[in-house]
Amino acid sequence: MGERADGTSSPDGSAAASFRTLQQATAMVGDLFGRQAECVEAAALLTATADELGLVVRPRAVSIAAYVHATGRMVATGERARAFLTDLAGSSGRPMTTNDIAPDNPAMDGSEFQRAGHMVVSVGDPALVLDPTFRQFAFAGLPPVSLVASVADDAPATGYWHLDLAGFSVTYFIEDGNSGWQEVFARILPEWRPLARELAEHLRLGRSAERVGLRQIEIPRRSD
Q: Domain ranges in the chain?
A: 2-210
Kindly report, residue by residue over 135-175, the tens digit of the pLDDT: 999 988 899 999 999 999 999 999 999 999 999 999 999 99
Give the HSE-up count for residue 220: Cα atoms under 13 Å, Cβ half-sphere: 5
pTM above 0.75, yes or no: yes
List pLDDT tens digits, range 9-50: 444 444 678 899 999 999 999 999 999 989 999 999 999 999
Question: What contacts 41, CB < 8 A, 6 or more positions away?
Answer: 33, 105, 188, 192, 219
CA–CA gap between residue 161 and residue 173 (Å, rounded): 7
What's the rounded Cα separation, in Å, for the pair 159 and 37? 24
Residue 195: burial class (beta carbons within 10 Å; 0-12, 13-18, 19+): middle
Q: What are 129's strand-pairing partners? A: 122, 149
| H/E stretch holding 138 | none
Could you write out the DSSP letters of every residue in 11-50? --GGGHHHHHHHHHHHHHHHHHHTT---HHHHHHHHHHHH
The letter for the amino acid at 138 is A
